[in-house]
Structure 1
Amino acid sequence: MARRRPARLAHIAGIGVDAVGRVADASSADLLRLENLDVDIPVDPVALARTREAVDRDEDNSYLPFIGQTRLRSVAADHVSALSGVRYDGDRNCLICAGGLSGVLNVLLATVDTGDEVVVTDPTYAGLINRVHLAGGVPRFVPFIFTPGGAWRLDRQALREAVGPESRAMLLTSPSMPSGGWLDADDWALVAELCVAKDLLLIVDAAMERLVFDGRPVLHAAGLPGMAERTITVGSASKELRMIGWRVGWIVAPEPLMEDLIAVNLANVVVPVGIAQDAAALALERSVETLPAYVSELQRRRDVLLEELDGMPVGVPAGGWSLLMRVTDFGHTGATASARLMEHGIAATAMAGWGVDHGDQYIRFVFSNEPVERLRGMGAIVHRALGAA
């Protein structure tokens, strides 16, 4: 039969991770697995025990409540309240979703109309860009400024110029994935200024907002003047709590937006995994105590990678799980560099489709899933693989 591809898929790009992962999984070699956002640092044991207990509990094997278990909604609302300074209530301002990305899609479907522009940074995770397209939106890219050996910086003038008459929202992550670019207080002040002046929504993908390095503060824009009424925060247990397989996220939003958000949430997935929700609530409550050692270990891994890649064109991540290298400096595209690195024992993902200014010129190295001992010596392998001087 003749197949007509739906128009909504016209701009959907592959993310590349799955393809590299399949090759790596099929290999018998002991590869450095730097291609996928996985983590080898164990989950909070208290959350693990609660998950095992939930398997045998009838009340955790239920569709109800459709908007998520009451305790998790309360804990998530309190968490965002503490970071932002805005008072949120679990009953009035929070619903639970099947992971952060599901939450982002639901927010976009509930707030963005066909043809509306959504401001994102460049680079940005291709999965977020795809969700803007699926919701009928049009991504407007604002580049980070790349300086080899330096931190990524938001191009503030480009942000001002990106906001136009068709703009509806900004979808921002800090630290950003994949670059680790971090928005400082002046960046967020500009975001707030533009959102208030142009009546835009701010959708914060908060998956990594506390995974920041070098003593940087955790900043949340909802508490800035005029922003409480227009900021939607999407959080997740995957990165900060290392609970990827639990598939739990939360949406915290102003009360007037909740009716539409709930309507979309109920039409898409209905409810996340019941046996995972209270474990996520426990891990989120306890993360005030458990997070510092985890962030310290991530920073240690980043620092080793920076030592190994010293003198090569990498952007220094201010947080998160990954860093980028510009491989066009060695005559490669991201795709050819990925293939060469695989031949030399490193699985890494090309960035085609992850940005315009910062797309296929880059390769990504994830440092959350390999210990320091295995990262040491990686620099020599990269030099051999890419023919670096």
Structure 2
Amino acid sequence: MVRGRTGRFARIQPFGIDRVVAAVGDDPAVLRMENLDTDVAPPPSAVAATRDAVGNQAANSWLPFTGTLALRQAVAAKLRHQTGLSYDPRTEVVITGGALAGMLSALLATVDHGDEVILTDPTYAGMINRVRLVGAVPVFVPLIVSGGRWRLHPDRLAAAVTPRTRAMLLMSPSMPSGHVFSDAEWGAVRDACHHADCWLLYDAAMDRILFDGVTYRHPASFPELAPRTITLGGVSKNYRMIGWRVGWAAGPAEVMGDIALAAIYNTTVASGFSQAGVLAALTGADDGIAGAVREWKSRRDLLVSELDGLPFVVPDGGWSLLLDAEALGMRAPELSRRLLSEGRIAATPMTAWGQDVAPRYVRLVYATEPISRLRGVGQRVRAAL
């Protein structure tokens, strides 16, 4: 008889999203706030370029393994604008099958079994469990709530560093919290990385989705972090191109060769016609991001207004807001059940999305439902309570 599960999966939990989806079924009366989708359309130029590329022989090839040169050049140009650094598109940029495929490749290239990787709590379960998949150990730094917003405490970050720290895996804006790193917080990351002599794996998948005049800062723009930072980007969130499954990893040539090998031996190559669409999105005259951010902000603002008086944390960016179940006197899975049964809201408990902080919360995604359906969400939530 074949032996059972390997030890690799012993601590890996499902997202929890699938259970909520199954409970909802196809009830059109339910507000779909459980999954990180969006109804805001992708750039029309990206859709057109993708359609044009389907059936084109050049887009139906295994080559180049690390992505088309034109797309790698576009990524390098984007990063130069954000960081001031010149990335060699041939040796320092790799196109991957989505940002998360690039994340797994970057982890495989930078950490060994038993090494520690620092993440925030809350953080995306897909990040946590990719750390576990490569045999490394996630170490959580709890975010704190200050002035109704998420913040990173420098002392807590510094205390998380040990001799086994090999990397930090951070996202800004972060899923599911919407936390955006301030310059001071990036400064604390810089100091902690220097002390640990470790890599910074930076998930930039939502880096353009910022609200309330929050200033964006790419960590590689700090001179001390530039040689340590591997940027993991993609088009699923900023460009609303979830189904294209194209992303990139970019960083120092000394590590990008190994990241390229990991990506090649995992997925070989990202979809050729999807790459054509992504190139159009990155180089087109109007990527639609500014308008999309205005729409998402209006939805976030509506939630903030309707949930006034309830224990939630205002996100500074991203697509979701966290509601504190324990402050309401119950566990997050129970609040999720009540929201569905009494409020007709599908919301995912953050049980697997951190260690001590995340399990208190349920996530409300505001990127999928239009304003017309979100109105009255506060009344629905209160009905569940």
Deviation digits for residues 318-346 of structure 1, max 9, x if unmatched?
Answer: 00000100011222211111111111311
For 1:268 and 1:208, the matched residues in 2 are separated by 24
Written as runs of structure 1 = structure 2, the 5 A alignment for 1:85-164 is 85-147=84-146, 150-164=148-162
Aligned to 1:347: 346
Q: Displacement of 1:288 after TM fit?
A: 6.6
Deviation digits for residues 266-304 of structure 1, max 9, x if unmatched?
Answer: 111111111100211111223775221111111111000
Q: Displacement of 1:143 after TM fit?
A: 0.9
8 Å Cα contact 1:180/1:323 also seen in 2 = yes
Deviation digits for residues 229-250 of structure 1, max 9, x if unmatched?
Answer: 1110000110011000000000
Q: Which runs of 5+ in 1 are unaligned?
A: none
Q: Displacement of 1:2 after TM fit?
A: 4.5
8 Å Cα contact 2:347/2:364 also seen in 1 = yes
- 1:225 is matched with which residue: 202, 223, 226? 223
8 Å Cα contact 2:122/2:353 also seen in 1 = yes
- Aligned AA for 2:64? P
For 1:146 and 1:211, the matched residues in 2 are separated by 20
For 1:342 and 1:2, the matched residues in 2 are separated by 40
- Aligned AA for 2:215? P
Q: Displacement of 1:22 after TM fit?
A: 2.5
**Percent of pairs with identical residues:** 46
Written as runs of structure 1 = structure 2, the 5 A alignment for 1:164-313 is 164-286=162-284, 290-313=288-311
Q: Displacement of 1:347 after TM fit?
A: 0.6
8 Å Cα contact 1:71/1:278 also seen in 2 = no
Aligned to 1:28: 27
Q: TM-score, normalised by structure 2?
A: 0.97
Q: Does 1:18 align with 2:13?
A: no
For 1:330 and 1:187, the matched residues in 2 are separated by 30
Deviation digits for residues 200-257 of structure 1, max 9, x if unmatched?
Answer: 1000000011111111111111121222211100001100110000000001111111
- Aligned AA for 1:212? L
For 1:100 and 1:18, the matched residues in 2 are separated by 21
8 Å Cα contact 1:241/1:287 also seen in 2 = no
Written as runs of structure 1 = structure 2, the 5 A alignment for 1:326-337 is 326-337=324-335
- Aligned AA for 1:87? S
**Alignment RMSD:** 1.3
8 Å Cα contact 1:313/1:326 also seen in 2 = yes
8 Å Cα contact 1:188/1:221 also seen in 2 = yes
Aligned to 1:322: 320
Aligned to 2:363: 364
For 2:354 and 2:332, the matched residues in 1 are separated by 12
For 2:276 and 2:245, the matched residues in 1 are separated by 12
Aligned to 1:43: 42
- Aligned AA for 2:133? L
Q: Displacement of 1:87 after TM fit?
A: 1.1
- Decide whether aligned partners of structure 1 residues 289 and 42 sit closer, same or farther in structure 2, where only a CA change above 3 A counts: closer
For 1:281 and 1:46, the matched residues in 2 are separated by 10
Q: TM-score, normalised by structure 1?
A: 0.96
- Aligned AA for 2:280? L
